[in-house]
Structure 1
Amino acid sequence: MDSKEDFKALIQKGYTTKNDFFILGTGMLDKEAVSEATVKIPLKTLNRHGLIAGATGTGKTKTLQVIAEQLSLKGIPSVLMDLKGDLSGLAMAGANNDHIVWRSKTIGVDFEPTALPVELMSISKEKGVRLRATVTEFGPVLMSQILELNSTQQGIMALIFRYCDLNQLPLVDLKDLKKVLQFVINEGKEEIKQEYGAVSSASVNTIMRKIIELEQEGAETFFGERSFDVNDLVRQRDGKGVVSVIRLTDIQNRPKLFSTFMLSLLSEIYDTFPEQGDQDKPKLCLFIDEAHLVFDNASKDLVEKIEAIVKLIRSKGVGVYFCTQSPTDIPESVLGQLGLKVQHALRAFTAKDRKAIGKTAENYPVSPFYETKDVLTAMGIGEALVTALNEKGIPTPLAHTLVRAPISRMDILTDSEIDTVVSQSSLVSLYNQTVDRDSAHEILTKKLQQAEKSAEQKVEEISKRKSSGTKAKEEDSFFEEISKNTMVRQIGRTIFRELTRTLMGTLSGKRR
């Protein structure tokens, strides 16, 4: 079986869809595009996740752009984690040229330069909507995994959250968490011991150092209020899905912060979105560019958490897409969950590279038309090996594909264009105002200051009484009281609330 007609028939049959779809490109055989061998991606299967892989400069980021464009045109919103800064161009219409005309005609699609509705976002000081979350919303389980705590330290973290829940001490930012940790081994040591048992100072100090390490990567700008509501990611504008581009160009060398943010976003989406099962199209798609940054320094617990979310979040109508240089950058446990695979060219400069290419080829279906490992090194820019899931969940035939060109700008926005996009946002005014209410740090600090002031006043009173001949037993009574109360205890304490946390260990609901 080697004729173009047989190849065309196989692709047409394999990529047939009864419901809505978008065209990714057209199949190629012997380095030539085969007309009518159209590679169609069913919208129904986009919540089955995916992979976009390939060496630097082979076109994988532009493929990500194409998919996000087609989703937007179908009314499906998406979130793009942009670490290189080259996805903001989605907000502006693309430019036409002879090569794009030829490519579009060959694939059989019209090329209409189009600007998509884009919302620029940031977890740092980049321009755009500020994304924040509170420590309370992370919960003790997720916070422990981010900090890579052992079982003893995880128990202390659970104690901290429990104590703060019962004593109305909001954990908003890392400053709050550090203050409570200091409290449990200093001023509040006896109180904590009576209610929860002794807490190891060495373990608390270790947790403190891990928090400081996270702060050094810039996490203090991420933890805080106002918390972002993930429902604001699911929006349409003029019938098109809004593309939320999260600008992460300034955190490429801070993988822990990137992992923290990504995992918190996935967890919050999972906890917030209702179950919807398999629908005709997904509710939201997330694209994680440079995905190897998530896994390179991730602990075993963190990888297991990501794997669990990827498995479960599909039922919420959400698809997760990893964009990286090689499939081997993704743990096999996660890779096995990915339905759509778009593999751009790989380069074989060393024996190690050739071995990796052979391993990569094993991740794709066997084709009667290709020797996969040979095609992997021979593809040009904008070409990819593609396999997806059809509407019955069956993998489609492997197709060497000429990918369509993006209809939006294939370049970054200028500073003035970024300012224009940000100024048109309805979310900036909502989320870019910093809310600095009294939280655990301020409340404990005030209580300690009050206790210190009260103690000083008592000392002065005793000093005056002593000088006037007051009996020594009053002084003894005071110091006995002080020894029992290392700070002003909360009188008449009642349970303010019990936080209900879900399977992911995060706060199940939050207010704006």
Structure 2
Amino acid sequence: MAAIEQDGKIFVGKGENLQYLTLKLANRHGLVTGATGTGKTVTLQVLAEGFSAAGVPVFAADIKGDLSGIAEAGEAKEAFVSRAKGMGVDYQPDQFPVMFWDLFGEQGHPVRATISEMGPLLLSRLLDLNDTQEGVLNIAFRVADEQGLLLLDLKDLRAILVYVAEHAAELTTAYGNVSKATIGTIQRQLLVLENQGGTKFFSEPALKLTDFMKTDRDGRGYVNILAAEKLMESPRLYATFLLWLLSELFEELPEVGDPDKPKLVFFFDEAHLLFNDAPKALLDKIEQVVRLIRSKGVGVYFVTQNPLDVPDKVLAQMGNRVQHALRAFTPRDQKAVKAAAETFRPNPKLNTAQVITELGKGEALVSFLEGNGVPALVDRALIRPPAARLGVITPEERKAIIQTSPCKGKYDQAVDSESAYERLQARTKEAAAPAGQEAPAGGGGILGGIGGFLGGLFGTNRARGTRLTTTQTIAREVTRTVTNRVAGQIAADIGKSLGGRTGSTIGRSIVRGALGGMLRR
């Protein structure tokens, strides 16, 4: 077979001309559409093979399990050999480096994220919350952040929701109405998420995105395959996870402009699940990420049955198109055919709308960006046969690949770190303990506690990262309690001297300013 990748291009198929996807333009995103059984998965594999051969890592969800064959060498089947010869090339079997991942840790390395990393917007989408419930969830995140409580797993989120319910009266004044009924609804939705396997996903160690961006010793990009057969039973979890992954890539990767080839290519199979019933705020977020992530060197390719599954604002970002056959049996099908035809640059030699309904298996209408990013004329092409195995691999083959993976052992065991749940439990026990039984932590009296508190405070990233030691945590709590009591007494004395509510307010402001100045030194 002609080289899968050569001269900065990926060989995809042949129509009137050989069809190549230019690597320099591959981060302009793409769309692969077509009815069931028309060859979308084969096209996805062909593109993934080309990117891997060019040294570009790939992430793809494997909905049916048949993308896993890319890890093993293909076979010179008669159909493959004859199709390759029809393109004027020889068929050459090949295989590609693969890492398997699984949110449930059954068919690949476990994939985990923390509650804080997911954030309230995506969690609200995942839990199917209304605007009021989403508002309360935002309050819970704010309270956790202000109190330095890490939200890592579902029990942390449950604990902070209980705390918010218990302090609803005082929080309502600062943030708006917080009802226990709303908290109860969110807790019930969390229970549903737990039953769908959310407990395994929300934990540590959290996934490092750099592990998706590896190459092997030969310089080939790893194809990261997410086992999604079981995950598809929870479509909202599937869609939310992939959107989180896309958002994390956008936030973490530096700007690179238009590199000679992408840093990572992201295939989003069953893309309609991302957009189904999504609120406008979420759709706006998706459109923003897809539009801007190009400059981070990431290409996003949506794979779905119908181009109408993708909102117009997102569809407009898809520069590289592969359209397999659509069947125009219903009015909606006819509308989809017309919409698909109108998205291509017209070719005077083709009636695009008619050809879409006549395409055979393995055929597609193809239009890739060329030159200065201008779409090529649409062409009817045969997609090249994959060089790797087409279909599933055996459990034994999968196990052997996992055992030799570069990430073996890194994510195998879940870790339960000290976070919001443990901290709030400790507070409850302290509050319930009889007076006089508490002892200073770590020695050194109050000054020792202040030292530990300041060391922990300035060495801690509350948003994401480094956690306080147990000694620092206890010292911080003791110091906070003592400081609050002293500050309250000073404020009260100043208030008495100045008189009335104004005096109390001035007293509190003076104390906050003084303590703030001390802590900044």
Query: In the alignment, does 2:85 pair up with 1:97?
Result: no
Aligned 1:21-170 pairs, distance under 5 A? 21-27=9-15, 34=16, 37-170=17-150
Distance 1:74 1:382, change over 3 A: same
Q: Which amino acid aligns with 2:246?
A: L
Note the C-alpha offset of 1:155. 4.1
Match of 1:227 among 196, 206, 210: 206
8 Å Cα contact 2:105/2:111 also seen in 1: no
| Cα distance in 2, alignment partners of residues 453 and 207 from structure 1 | 31
8 Å Cα contact 1:19/1:280 also seen in 2: no
Equivalent residue number for residue 318 of structure 2: 338
Q: Which amino acid aligns with 2:75?
A: A
Match of 1:436 among 410, 416, 419: 416
Q: Which amino acid aligns with 2:20?
A: K
| Cα distance in 2, alignment partners of residues 445 and 80 from structure 1 | 40
Query: In the alignment, does 2:224 pair up with 1:236?
Result: no
What secondary structure is seen at the aligned counterpart in 2 of 1:451?
Answer: helix
8 Å Cα contact 1:19/1:44 also seen in 2: no
Query: In the alignment, does 2:8 pair up with 1:20?
Result: yes
Q: CA RMSD in A?
A: 2.8
Per-residue CA deviations over 1:400-437 (Å, capped at 9, x if unaligned) read: 01110000000101111111011111213001111012
Note the C-alpha offset of 1:143. 3.2
Note the C-alpha offset of 1:203. 3.1
Equivalent residue number for residue 326 of structure 1: 306
Distance 1:75 1:18, change over 3 A: closer
Stretch deviating more after TM superposition (403-412 or 205-214):
205-214
| Cα distance in 2, alignment partners of residues 41 and 369 from structure 1 | 22
| Cα distance in 2, alignment partners of residues 389 and 427 from structure 1 | 35
Note the C-alpha offset of 1:276. 0.2
| Cα distance in 2, alignment partners of residues 214 and 426 from structure 1 | 31
Q: Taking structure 2 as the reference length, what is the TM-score of the superposition?
A: 0.80
| Cα distance in 1, alignment partners of residues 381 and 164 from structure 2 | 60
Aligned 1:181-192 pairs, distance under 5 A? 181-186=161-166, 188-189=167-168, 192=171
Query: In the alignment, does 2:342 pair up with 1:399?
Result: no
Equivalent residue number for residue 443 of structure 2: none
| Cα distance in 1, alignment partners of residues 430 and 352 from structure 2 | 73
Distance 1:326 1:510, change over 3 A: farther
Q: Which amino acid aligns with 1:160?
A: A
Q: Taking structure 1 as the reference length, what is the TM-score of the superposition?
A: 0.81
| Cα distance in 1, alignment partners of residues 58 and 66 from structure 2 | 16
Query: In the alignment, does 2:367 pair up with 1:387?
Result: yes
Note the C-alpha offset of 1:438. 2.0
Note the C-alpha offset of 1:194. 7.6
Note the C-alpha offset of 1:260. 1.5
Per-residue CA deviations over 1:247-271 (Å, capped at 9, x if unaligned) read: 1110212111012201110111111
Note the C-alpha offset of 1:382. 0.8
Note the C-alpha offset of 1:377. 1.3
Per-residue CA deviations over 1:120-152 (Å, capped at 9, x if unaligned) read: 001123221111110112233443454454555
Q: Which amino acid aligns with 2:190?
A: I
| Larger RCO: 1 or 2 (CA < 8 Å, sep 6+) | 1
Note the C-alpha offset of 1:225. 0.3
Match of 1:358 among 338, 357, 366: 338
Equivalent residue number for residue 427 of structure 2: 447
Note the C-alpha offset of 1:234. 0.9
Query: In the alignment, does 2:189 pair up with 1:201?
Result: no
| Cα distance in 1, alignment partners of residues 174 and 230 from structure 2 | 44
What secondary structure is seen at the aligned counterpart in 1 of 2:291?
Answer: helix
Note the C-alpha offset of 1:330. 1.1
8 Å Cα contact 1:83/1:289 also seen in 2: yes
Note the C-alpha offset of 1:440. 1.1
8 Å Cα contact 2:64/2:229 also seen in 1: yes
| Cα distance in 1, alignment partners of residues 332 and 172 from structure 2 | 56
| Cα distance in 1, alignment partners of residues 301 and 332 from structure 2 | 26
Per-residue CA deviations over 1:367-396 (Å, capped at 9, x if unaligned) read: 211111211111111110011111301110
8 Å Cα contact 1:193/1:199 also seen in 2: yes
What secondary structure is seen at the aligned counterpart in 2 of 1:322?
Answer: strand
Stretch deviating more after TM superposition (329-338 or 17-26):
17-26
8 Å Cα contact 1:23/1:39 also seen in 2: yes
Distance 1:349 1:225, change over 3 A: same
Distance 1:132 1:334, change over 3 A: same
* Structure 1 residues not aligned, in runs of 5+: 1-16, 28-33, 459-490, 502-506
Query: In the alignment, does 2:273 pair up with 1:273?
Result: no
Q: Which amino acid aligns with 2:189?
A: K
Stretch deviating more after TM superposition (193-202 or 156-165):
193-202
Note the C-alpha offset of 1:69. 0.2
What secondary structure is seen at the aligned counterpart in 2 of 1:51?
Answer: strand
Per-residue CA deviations over 1:144-164 (Å, capped at 9, x if unaligned) read: 454454555444333322322
Distance 1:196 1:403, change over 3 A: closer
Give identity over the alignment, percent: 43
Aligned 1:413-432 pairs, distance under 5 A? 413-432=393-412
* Structure 2 residues not aligned, in runs of 5+: 439-448, 468-521
| Cα distance in 2, alignment partners of residues 310 and 500 from structure 1 | 29
Equivalent residue number for residue 476 of structure 2: none
Query: In the alignment, does 2:212 pair up with 1:212?
Result: no
Q: Which amino acid aligns with 2:338?
A: G
| Cα distance in 1, alignment partners of residues 288 and 215 from structure 2 | 29
